[in-house]
Amino acid sequence: MAKAKKVRDDVDESLIEATDIVSLLSEPGFAEIYDREITQIECREGFELPSVDLSESLPAVLCASSEEPKVDRCKIRLWSDFKPIEGDTLEKVIADIAKCESCDLCKTRNKTVPGAGSSYAKLMLIGEGPGADEDATGIPFVGKAGQHLDKILAAAGFKRDEVYICNVVKCRPPNNRDPKMEEMAVCSQFLQRQIHLIKPCLIACLGNIAVKYVIGPKAPGITRIHGQWFDSVFGIKTMPMYHPSYLLRDNSREKGSPNWEMWQDIKALKQKYDSI
């Protein structure tokens, strides 16, 4: 893991989310199933992570609990265990998602939201889960946050139909709560198939919750690591970015504001994209 040469001096420490967010997302005893080292593989000058002992960031409750998680462990599939399905297609993935009842999110969904975009996308954007507008339409990122994301992508020179946009979980969590780590792990069977079929070169991970799944539960908060490049559970270079709904909370475009930072990140992402 990269060691710090310089800690960002423009970050309000109060904005750095506590890494024990994992404790809010996970059933006791779950973490050891999914635990992984966080590997930073590239950074822009002045943005390198401080050297922190991430092993201390996991809450004790996750490390030493006799309680069994409620989700069936046999349904949890790690990328290292992934076995491609012969003859698989994105259409089959969508059909399997539509009839999936592997977690309780199926009980409250209206429509499944598998993902949308090019089957040959070099870039995959991954959010945490569908919201109300997505649940109503079956299309990812179509609400106000999605429209904001569209503007950001267009401003950077991306066409929405040249990338692939999806979420870790394909059904809306009730009342827009965060998806639990177990739900993400169970649902990842579909994300794994999508990634295997599309074979993106780059992933942009939108928001703290998706980062905890795609990069790892020990990943520091998004305000600290957005815009950096990390190895991901899929072995694909991944940049954490702010979730567009977070950006809607602050209209400022001033230097240092979340929207300004997003603009720096999307420009860096486009530069990398164009170089591939």
Residues that bind ligand SF4 in the complex, under the rule CB under 6 A: 97, 100-103, 105-106, 112, 169-171, 183, 186-187
Instruction: Give the residue with the Cβ less far from ligand SF4, 168 or 198.
Output: 168
- Cβ proximity to ligand SF4: between 93 and 219 the closer is 93
Work out how close the CB of 117 gets to ligand SF4 at its nearest, in angstroms, rounded to a whole number: 18
Pick from 256, 263, 226: nearest CA to 49: 226
30/181 Cα distance (integer angstroms): 8
Which residue lies nearer to ligand SF4 by CB, 105 or 266?
A: 105
Q: What are phi and psi of 177, to 5 degrees?
A: -65, 165
What is the number of other CB atoms lying within 10 angstroms of the CB of residue 91? 10
CB of 108 to ligand SF4, least distance (A): 10
In the complex with ligand SF4, the residue whose CB is nearer, 114 or 221, is 114
Geometric angle at alpha carbon 261, from 149 and 148, rounded to 5°: 15
> 71 or 142: whose CB is closer to ligand SF4?
71
3-state SS class at 266: helix
Report the DSSP pairing between strands 164-167 and 116-117.
antiparallel
Pairing of the two strands 116-117 and 202-206: unpaired
CB of 212 to ligand SF4, least distance (A): 16
User: What phi and psi, each to the nearest 5 degrees, are found at residue 22?
Assistant: -55, -35
Report the nearest approach of ligand SF4 to the CB of residue 101 (Å): 6
CB-nearer residue toward ligand SF4: 25 or 262: 25
Kindly tell me the burial class for residue 83, based on how many C-beta atoms sit within 10 Å of its own C-beta (0-12, 13-18, 19 or more). exposed
In the bound complex, what is the minimum distance in angstroms from residue 112's beta carbon to ligand SF4? 6
- Smallest gap, in angstroms, from Cβ of residue 42 to ligand SF4? 31
